[in-house]
């Protein structure tokens, strides 16, 4: 009997030892899992910190560039990678690259040894501006038999009724884009330009050879039957102060091999009368009127390019304005302005 009891006690002891061993192994397993989960949670937390550091850094630099016209973007591009900027237990490194008309801001964030990246791409506003045949900050008035081929838009809200059209004009008011939200930068006139200090009132000729830069300090006030002619080949950058007016039967005449970009330097009105025009009128502070008194009744193309202005008035007899995607506007001298295209 005693032997049986001893055997049972021995079996119970073995069972207890096995149970303790199993519980120990299970406990170690649970502890290992808990530690792994803790490490994973810490890694995820650091990963999130690193990402938000990267995104915050890229976003802050993008915001600075978009809001600061004098930002030294070229200097940022040429500088390459920045030194780490330390924030709490993390750091940020930035790199700015210019690719075509886009500015790419690459940011690397680090938090406790964990690295994450964020990229924001800024689009040069110049690329957006000339998607439009007509772009205004405010009012657009299209009268008589005027046809505009291409997009027409204004930054003014639809509630202000900024667009008026005639029964024979195209597009109709309801087809014009409102609330466009397109930034229209200031004119950036180069320091070295040919200066014409007297107002142009009589017949005048400018000869263009390649890229030519001229500043009309006193503007243009063409008298009756007077002509401003532009001959040669290339692109004429014509900066106008004190406005441009055209009396009856006066006109601007350009060679077909010349692209003309007219910049209104101040807020004086621009009134241009021309039979054929190739180029663009850029007047962010002014009202621009383009008039063609002898347009073709058969729908001849009278204006090839874009008008970007504070306000725009188009009038003429069977006049057509057509966006010209082939016009060389890469050298448009305006202050660069950027907007966010996408995050990556």
pLDDT tens, 155-194? 999 999 999 999 999 999 999 999 988 888 889 898 889 9
Asked if residue 153 and residue 115 are part of one domain, the reply reads: no
Asked if residue 66 and residue 36 are part of one domain, the reply reads: yes
201-240: pLDDT as tens digits: 999 999 999 999 999 999 999 999 899 999 999 999 999 9
Read off the pLDDT band of 18 (50, 70, 90).
low
Cα–Cα distance, 260 to 196 (Å, whole number): 17
Asked if residue 136 and residue 64 are part of one domain, the reply reads: no
Asked if residue 98 and residue 115 are part of one domain, the reply reads: yes
Helix (H) or strand (E) run with residue 142 in it: strand 140-142
Cα–Cα distance, 282 to 298 (Å, whole number): 28
219, 196 contact by CB (below 8 A):
no
235, 258 contact by CB (below 8 A):
yes
Cα–Cα distance, 123 to 204 (Å, whole number): 40
Read off the pLDDT band of 53 (50, 70, 90).
confident
Handedness of CA 46, 48, 49, 50 (dihedral sign): positive
pLDDT of residue 239: 96
Asked if residue 252 and residue 120 are part of one domain, the reply reads: no
Q: Is the pTM of this model over 0.85?
A: no
Cα–Cα distance, 151 to 308 (Å, whole number): 12
Asked if residue 109 and residue 157 are part of one domain, the reply reads: no
Cα–Cα distance, 262 to 122 (Å, whole number): 27
Asked if residue 108 and residue 146 are part of one domain, the reply reads: no
96-105: pLDDT as tens digits: 999 877 899 9
For residue 102, give both structure tokens.
Answer: 């886009």
297, 320 contact by CB (below 8 A):
no
Q: Is residue 330 domain-resident?
A: no
Q: Is residue 333 domain-resident?
A: no
Q: Is residue 327 domain-resident?
A: no
Containing structural domain, residue 186: 131-322
Which residue(s) pair with 134 in the sheet?
Answer: 152, 307
Question: What percentage of the chain reaches a pLDDT higher than 90?
Answer: 45
Asked if residue 233 and residue 288 are part of one domain, the reply reads: yes
Residue 74, phi then psi, degrees to nearest 5: -60, -40
Q: Is residue 41 domain-resident?
A: yes
Secondary structure, 3-state, 265-327 = CCCCCEEEECCCEEEEEEEEEEEEEEEECCCCCCCCCCEEEEEEEEEEEEEECCEEEECCCCC
Asked if residue 1 and residue 85 are part of one domain, the reply reads: yes
The more confident residue out of 43 and 176 is 176
Asked if residue 98 and residue 153 are part of one domain, the reply reads: no
Q: Is residue 84 domain-resident?
A: yes
Asked if residue 141 and residue 117 are part of one domain, the reply reads: no
84, 93 contact by CB (below 8 A):
yes
Q: Is residue 62 domain-resident?
A: yes
Total domain count for the chain?
2
Q: Is residue 317 domain-resident?
A: yes
Q: Is residue 332 domain-resident?
A: no
Asked if residue 153 and residue 74 are part of one domain, the reply reads: no
């Amino acid at each position: 009997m005693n032997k049986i009891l001893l055997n049972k006690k021995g079996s119970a002891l073995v069972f207890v030892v096995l149970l303790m061993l199993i519980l120990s192994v299970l406990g170690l397993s649970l502890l290992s899992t808990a530690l792994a989960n803790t490490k994973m949670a810490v890694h995820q937390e650091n990963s999130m910190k690193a990402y938000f550091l990267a995104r915050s850094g890229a976003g802050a630099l993008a915001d600075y560039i978009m809001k600061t016209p004098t930002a030294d973007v070229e200097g940022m591009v040429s500088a390459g990678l920045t030194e780490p900027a330390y924030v709490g237990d993390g750091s940020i490194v930035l790199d700015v690259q210019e690719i075509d008309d886009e500015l790419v801001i690459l940011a690397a964030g680090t938090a406790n040894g964990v690295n994450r990246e964020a990229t924001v791409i800024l689009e040069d506003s110049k690329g957006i501006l000339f998607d439009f045949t007509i772009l205004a900050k405010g009012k657009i008035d299209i009268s008589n038999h005027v046809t505009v081929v291409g997009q027409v838009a204004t930054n003014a809200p639809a509630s202000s009724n900024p667009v008026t059209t005639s029964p024979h004009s195209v597009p109709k008011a309801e087809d014009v884009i409102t609330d466009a939200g397109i930034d229209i930068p200031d004119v950036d006139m180069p320091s070295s330009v040919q200066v014409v200090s007297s107002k142009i009132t009589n017949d005048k000729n400018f000869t263009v050879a390649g890229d030519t830069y001229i500043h009309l300090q006193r503007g243009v006030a063409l008298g009756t039957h007077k002509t401003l002619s532009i001959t040669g080949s290339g692109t004429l950058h014509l900066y106008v102060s004190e406005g441009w007016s055209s009396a009856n039967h006066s006109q601007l005449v350009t060679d077909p091999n010349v692209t003309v970009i007219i910049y209104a330097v101040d807020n004086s009105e621009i009134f241009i009368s021309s039979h054929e025009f190739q180029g663009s009128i850029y007047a962010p502070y002014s009202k621009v009127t383009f008039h063609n008194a002898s347009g073709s009744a058969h729908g001849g193309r009278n204006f090839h390019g874009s008008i970007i202005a504070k306000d725009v008035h188009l009038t003429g007899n069977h006049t057509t304005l057509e966006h010209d995607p082939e016009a060389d506007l890469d050298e448009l001298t305006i202050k660069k302005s950027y907007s966010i295209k996408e995050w990556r």
